[in-house]
Structure 1
Amino acid sequence: MTPEVSRPLRTADVARESGYSAQQVRDLERLGVIPPAARAANGYRSYAPVHVHALRAYRGLASAAGPVEARRLLAEALTGSVADAAAAIGAVHVRLARDRDEALRARSALRAIQSEATDGERPPADPADVLTITQLASALGVRTSTLRFWEQEGLVAPERVTSLRARQYGPAAVREARIVAALRASGYGVPAVRDVVASLRRLPGADEGVARAGQILDRRLDDLAARTVALLRAGAALAEIIAPEVDPGPSSPQRA
Structure 2
Amino acid sequence: MGRNLQSSRRLRPVDLARGHGLSTQAVRNYEEAGILPAAGRTPHGHRTYTPLHAKALGAFLALVPAHGHRTASSIMQAVNRGAVDEALRIVDESHAQLLDDRRTLQAVESALRDLGPAAGSGPGSAFIGPLARKLGIRPATLRTWERAGLVSPRRDPRTGYRVYAEADVRDAHLAHQLRRGGYLLEQIAPLIAQVRAAGGTEPLEAALCDWRRRLSVRGRAMLTGAAELDAYLSASTAGTASAGRGA
- Smaller-chain TM-score range? 0.5 to 0.7
Q: Show the counterpart of 1:95.
A: 97
Q: Which amino acid aligns with 1:235?
A: A
1:167-186 alignment, distance < 5 Å:
172-175=174-177, 181=187, 184=190
Alpha carbons of structure 1 residues 120 and 56: separation in structure 2 relative to 1, 3 Å: farther
Distance 1:56 1:183 in 2: 39
Residues 125 and 83 of structure 1: is their aligned pair in 2 closer, same or farther, counting only changes over 3 Å?
same
How far apart, CA to CA, are the structure 1 residues paired with 2:228 and 2:188?
Answer: 31
- 1:36 and 1:114 map into 2 onto residues whose CA distance is 60
Task: Indicate whether 1:233 and 2:235 are aligned.
Answer: no
1:107 to 91, 106, 109: 109
1:55 match: secondary structure: helix
Per the TM alignment, residue 115 of structure 1 is displaced from its structure 2 partner at its CA by: 3.7
Matched, 1:155 2:150: yes
User: Given the superposition, is the C-alpha separation of residues 116 and 47 from structure 1 closer, same or farther in structure 2, using an over 3 Å criterion?
Assistant: farther
Q: CA deviation at 1:39?
A: 1.3
State how far apart, in whole Å, the 2-side matches of 1:76 and 1:19 are. 25
Alignment partners' CA distance in 2, 1:245 and 1:33: 14
Q: Is the 8 A contact 2:36 2:53 kept in 1?
A: yes
User: Paired residue for 1:11?
Assistant: 13
Partner of residue 222, structure 1: 213
Match of residue 37 from structure 1: 39
Shift in Å, 1:238: 1.6
Letter of the aligned partner of 1:101 in structure 2?
R
Q: How much is the aligned-residue C-alpha RMSD, in angstroms?
A: 3.8
- Tell me how far 1:18 sits from its aligned partner: 3.0
CA drift of 1:116 comes to 3.5
Q: What TM-score do you get using the length of structure 1 for normalisation?
A: 0.61
**CA shift digits 1:142-172 (9 cap, x unpaired):** xxxxxx7x75352369xxxxxxxxxxxx974
CA positional deviation for 1:231: 2.1
Alignment of 1:110-129 (within 5 A): 110-117=112-119
Aligned partner letter, 2:147 = Q
Contact 2:35–2:80 (Cα < 8 Å) also in 1: no
Which of 199, 203, 209 is residue 200 of structure 2 equivalent to? Answer: 209
Q: Does the Cα contact within 8 Å between 1:82 and 1:243 map onto a contact in 2?
A: no
Q: 1:77 aligns with which of 70, 76, 79?
A: 79
Residues 66-97 of structure 1: per-residue CA shift (max 9 Å, x gap) = 22222222111222354443333122112111
Distance (Å, rounded) in 1 between the aligned partners of 2:188 and 2:120: 23
Note if contact 2:52-2:235 (Cα within 8 Å) is conserved in structure 1. no
Q: Which has the larger radius of gyration?
A: 2
Aligned partner letter, 2:93: A
Counterparts of 2:80 and 2:90, CA distance in 1: 12
Percent identity at matched positions?
A: 29
Gap runs ≥5 in structure 1? 134-147, 158-169, 186-192, 200-207, 247-256
CA displacement, residues 205-234 of structure 1 (integer Å, 9 cap, x when unaligned): xxx421332222222222222222222222
Cα deviation digits, residues 23-67 of structure 1 (max 9, x gap): 321222232221221111233221122222222222233323322
Measure, in 2, the Cα distance between the counterparts of 1:62 and 1:93.
14
Amino acid at match of 2:68: G
